[in-house]
Amino acid sequence: MKERDPMDKSESLSHTAWDCKYHVVCIPKRRRRTLCGELRKHLGGVFCKLAARKESETVEGGLMPDQAMIRNSVAMATGRT
């Protein structure tokens, strides 16, 4: 199967195109390995709720014992003057 061109995934207007993504990394103080067990399950839900609140789509995410990463795709608001 042929891969899609990255620009096919972008948002566009009549004369512009964009693809806005944010990469967020949360690291506990002194990189303690505390993101395990119940806290790990809880953080997954928290990240999903935050993405929904900001009207963004979670592209990928990962939880490791010493850090949490999430990448969101954000729809840009456009306006006319």
Domain spans of the chain, in order of start? 19-74
Written as tens digits, the pLDDT of the chain (81 aa) is 445 454 456 666 777 777 788 888 888 887 778 877 778 888 888 888 888 888 888 888 888 888 889 898 887 665 554
Answering whether pTM is above 0.85, one says: no
The confidence score (pLDDT) of residue 1 equals 46
Closest CA to 40 of 67, 9, 4, 6: 67
Q: Judging by beta carbons within 10 Å of its beta carbon (0-12, 13-18, 19+), is residue 28 exposed, middle or buried?
A: middle
CATH of 19-74, one of 1.25.40.10, 3.30.1360.200, 3.30.70.1290, 3.40.1080.10: 3.30.70.1290
The confidence score (pLDDT) of residue 31 equals 76
Please tell me the distance from the alpha carbon of residue 3 to that of residue 6, in angstroms, as a whole number. 9
